Amino acid sequence: MKLTILGSHGPYPGKDGACSGYLLENNRMNILIDCGNGVLSRYQRYYDLRDLKYIILTHFHSDHVSDMMVLRYAVDIRMRKGDIKEPINIYCPNEPLKVLDDLNFNGVFKLNIVDEKTKLKIDNLLISFEKMEHPVLTYAVKFNDGKKTFAFSGDTMENDRIIPFIKSCDVFLCDGNLLGDEKGPHLTARRAAEISKAADCKKLIITHLWPQHTTDEYFNEASKVIQDVIIAKDFEVYDI
């Protein structure tokens, strides 16, 4: 598996940035995880939209799904032209209903509702989900190819489900939006590092970065817990 950071900011993009979007490649198949502001353009640096078969949406906040509203028009037009033959498979929560309704557009997406009991197999990837804590229904997602495991927290606050879910994973991509004593519906960089360490994860990548904080600030806080922590950087590629 190979992970490319398409967008790492939240809840809005900084200058030249993009919101949450991650490209997971496995053999000749790719999965887009979240599709926030700016992600659709960046995806097309790597693949044509005809190659976009699977999208996982961890939750329906706009910094994770806003480009889906543009993608629906692109797919609709290209399906009418015969350029795209089949709808894109979307795996997502079932609420808020208004966003789900917005995604139900001219048959361009095949909507598949997930919950913590969902087990998927796409190609040789086994994919599972766990409910997190956030103002809207949100899921962490985990991928296993039979050899390695990659997990993404989605957006989350503190909860007792995350450590068992990510236990011993090879790469853990984690929401660490906050610093110090900042409050909000996210983890701090330090807490993300503590969770990764408690779960015996081999590599931690902190993402969902507040644009007005520097990567050095995130690194300095998290590295007090894990020395080799990685702060997500757009277009960086990580082997899993």
21 near 7, Cβ under 8 Å?
yes
pLDDT in tens, 142-152: 999 999 999 99
Distance from C-alpha of 177 to C-alpha of 12, rounded to nearest angstrom: 12
Query: In sequence order, what are the residues at sequence separation of 6 or more whose Cβ sits closer than 8 angstroms to the Cβ of residue 127?
Result: 56, 91, 119, 120, 121, 141, 142, 143, 144
Residue-level pLDDT at 68: 98
pLDDT in tens, 27-73: 889 999 999 999 999 999 999 999 999 999 999 999 999 999 999 99
Residue-level pLDDT at 28: 83
Instruction: Using the structure block, give the residue that is written with the tokens 């007090």.
Output: 224
Does 84 score more than 90 pLDDT? Answer: yes
Average pLDDT for 157-168: 98
Among candidate residues 1, 92, 80, the one with its CA nearest the CA of residue 55:
92
194 near 236, Cβ under 8 Å?
no
pLDDT in tens, 4-18: 999 999 999 999 999
**Mean pLDDT (the chain, rounded):** 97
Distance from C-alpha of 97 to C-alpha of 181, rounded to nearest angstrom: 33
Facing residues of 25 across strands? 2, 30
% the chain with pLDDT above 90: 98
Distance from C-alpha of 203 to C-alpha of 178, rounded to nearest angstrom: 20
The reported pTM is: 0.97
% the chain with pLDDT above 70: 100
76 near 109, Cβ under 8 Å?
no
Q: Is the CATH code 3.60.15.10 the one for domain 2-239?
A: yes
Element housing 33 (H / E) = strand 29-33
pLDDT in tens, 103-139: 999 999 999 999 999 999 999 999 999 999 999 999 9
Q: For the chain, which residues make up each domain, given as ranges? A: 2-239
